[in-house]
Amino acid sequence: MFHVKHLVFILLFPLLSSAQGSFTLKDTPLIVKLEVDQTIKAHVDRELIKSGLSNEEREFFYWVNYLRKNPPQFYTDCILPFLKQFPEANGKEAKSLQKDLLSSPKLNLLSFSAAATDAAKIHCADLALKQNNIGHNSSDGKNFSTRMRLAGITKCAAENIYTGKNEPLLSLIMLLLDLGLEVPGHRKNLLAPWYNLMGLSMQTHRSMKRIVLVQIFSCS
């Protein structure tokens, strides 16, 4: 069995809070058969043309915007197939996710942020290569707000961190579910209408058994 741990965090200005959770899924790939949304693909291609993101990072960018374009449709297209394949995840968090997605309005698509991506790359490398735990502080002691200020992100910001299997859609779903957490802060972050920019980085953990994903939201 492949142990998928999702340790996801959110920090917001000016009020800072954090949470984490973990969950184990059976070791099978998530299979979701959908036609590519050409509107979102065109948006992603345009935004990421000079981004230098990997294929997996581009795919994650696509799925986040697929979610935001129509949250109720995302539930039907992606969450239901996920729960059918992984019934062990069909608990209270899945029920609250159903309620939140089906009641959510359509949201603005997120654009690429070079500043947020640079900050995500730095922290992702630090977590993957230097640190023993997943968190928002860097190995040299910088907290989240300090890291954002150094990146030039001062209006608003939030950060999600995932570690586990290298499947972009699965990563997003685990962030949305917030399994084991009383407050679904990461889900609220993904569905927040005030963010319009996103940066991210996905890097292989030094154990070579999982990836670390850092996702940073900001406002223009």
Pull the structure tokens for residue 61. Answer: 């960018």
Cis-peptide into 105, omega within 30 deg: no
pLDDT at 104: 98
State the burial class of residue 127 (Cβ atoms within 10 Å of its Cβ: 0-12, 13-18, 19+): buried
pLDDT at 23: 75
- State how far the Cα of 191 lies from the Cα of 100, in Å rounded to an integer: 9
pLDDT at 115 over 50: yes
pLDDT at 10 over 60: no
Parallel, antiparallel, or unpaired: how do β-strands 211-218 and 197-204 relate?
A: antiparallel
Taking residues 25-45, report their average pLDDT.
Answer: 95
pLDDT at 105 over 80: yes
pLDDT at 15 over 70: no
Question: What is the pTM (predicted TM-score) of this model?
Answer: 0.90
pLDDT tens digits, 41-86 = 999 999 999 999 999 999 999 999 999 999 999 999 999 999 999 9
Taking residues 164-172, report their average pLDDT.
Answer: 95
Give the orientation angle of helix 92-103 with respect to helix 168-177, to 10 degrees. Answer: 100
pLDDT at 8: 36
Ramachandran bin of 84, using left for φ above 0, alpha for ψ from -120 to 50, beta for the remaining angles: alpha
pLDDT at 20: 52
